[in-house]
Amino acid sequence: MLSVLGQVLTYIVPFLLVLTFIVTIHELGHFLVARAFGVKVDRFAIGFGRPLFSRTDRHGIEWRLGWIPAGGYVKFSGDLDASSVPDQAGLAELRQRVVAQHGPAAVRDYYHFKPVWQRALIVAAGPLANFALAITIFAILFMTLGAQMTPARVGQVQPGSPAAAAGFQPGDLITAVDGRRIEDSSEVTRAVMLSSGDPLRFTVERNGAPVELVATPQRRMENDPIAGRIQIGRIGVLLEARRQDIRHVRYDPISAIGAGAQQTADVIGSTVTYLGRLLTGRESGDQLSGPIGIAKASGSLTNMAVQANPDPRATALNLGLTLINLAAILSIGIGFLNLLPIPVLDGGHLVFYAYEAVARRPVAARFQEAGYRVGLALLAGFMLFATWNDLQKLNLFQFLGGLVS
C-alpha cells in the first residue's frame, strides 16, 4: 500500500501540479486580454469539480478553486456555445436575450459582439501566454544559473557506423551541421535524432583545419530513462568534450530573454520538424506521449532529482529546478497544441475568425458542428495513439501476455 502511495506521489502529483499551473497561465492569457477589451467574464476556475473555494469580486467574476487539480477554464458571459463562434442566428438570439435582460448598452460587453480582431487576439493570448511562460522560465534559469556550453567533440566512433563510413575521427570538433553553427553538443544530438535516412553535412575542425563530412543517421531503438523505448536517429559517435573546452556562461537580463526565446523557438522547431517527418512517414510515432507518458516522465525526472544528492536542501533544489524545466517544456507543448487548426482548439477558433473576417459573417452552424465532430475525432484518435505508445513503453502488453500464458 505504501509503495502504491509512493508511486502516486512521485508520478501523478508532480504532473498534476505542473499541468494545473500551465493551464492556469494559459487561461490567464485569455482572461487578461479579454478584460483589457472590456469583455464581461462570469468565472475564472482553477481545477474542476466541487469548489473548495469560491468568491465573487465587485466585477461579478467568480473566482473558483476546484478540488480536482487537472487544469482550469475561463467562462465569458453568454458563452453557451462550445465553439465560442455562434452563427448569425445564434448571435441574433443572444443579442435579443442580452438586450431584454440588461439593456442595449450591455451588448458591447459580451465577447461574441466584439470586433473579430479583438476576439482573435483573446483566443491567441492563451497559447502566447504559454510561450511567454516558457521564455520567462528559461530566462530566469539563464540569469541565475547560467548555462554550461559543451563543445561537440568526437570521443569515439563506432565501427561500421554511418560516422565511420563518413570519415569521422576521434578528436574531431563538430562546428556546424547543414551550415548551422554548433555551440553545444546537444544541438548535434537534436539534429541527428530527427534526421533518420536524410544525409547531414557536418563541418568538423581537425588539426586546426575545417573538414566537410556527410553522414546519414540510422534509426535505432533505444531505452531512454525518461521517454522510455523510442526510435531515434544515430550516426555512431560518442561526444566527449575535454574538460578545458567546457565553459560556463552567465547571462544579463536582455541576453537571458533572447536565449530563452531561442530555446523556446528551438523546441517549437523540433516539434514542427518531427510532426512533418511523421506525416510523411519518415519518422516513427513512438515519440508521441499522452498523459500516462508525461506523468511517467515527470515521475522519472522527480526520482532523478531526488537521487542526485541525498542532502535534503540539494534534493529540494534539484526537484524544484526539474519541475520548473518540465513546466517550461510542457507549456510550449500545450501552447503549440492549442494553435493547431482543429476546431475544438484555439487554432480552430482562429480559422473560424479568419473566415469571418473575409466573408463578413460567422461560419454557418452546420459547418461549425461538422468541424467540431471532426476535431473531436482527431483529438480522440491522437490521445488513443499516444496512450497506446505510453502503454507499449511501459511493457504492459508483454506483462499481460505473460499473465495469460
End-to-end Cα distance, the chain = 27
DSSP letters spanning 112-171: GGS-HHHHHHHHHHHHHHHHHHHHHHHHHHHHHT-EEE--EEEEEE-TTSHHHHHT--TT
Give residue 376's Cα distance to chain centre: 20
Q: CA separation (Å) from 104 to 21, 79, 100, 157, 183? A: 38, 18, 8, 75, 61
Phi, psi of 239 (to 5 degrees): -85, 125
- Spatial distance between the Cα atoms of 307 and 288, rounded to a whole number of angstroms: 27
Strands 237-239 and 62-76, how do they pair? unpaired
Strand partners of residue 62 = 43, 56
356 classed as catalytic = no
DSSP string, 29-69: HHHHHHHHTT--EEEEEEEEEEEEEEEE-TTSPEEEEEEEE
Decide: residue 327, CB within 10 A, 0-12 exposed, 13-18 middle, 19+ buried: buried
Residue 329 burial (CB count, 10 A) = 19
Task: Provide the 3-class DSSP secondary structure of residue 346.
Answer: helix
Catalytic choice (27, 62, 187, 222): 27
DSSP 232: E
Which residues have a Cβ under 8 Å from the Cβ of 357 and sit 6 or more positions away? 116, 117, 120
Radius of gyration of the chain (CA): 25
Q: Catalytic residue numbers? A: 27
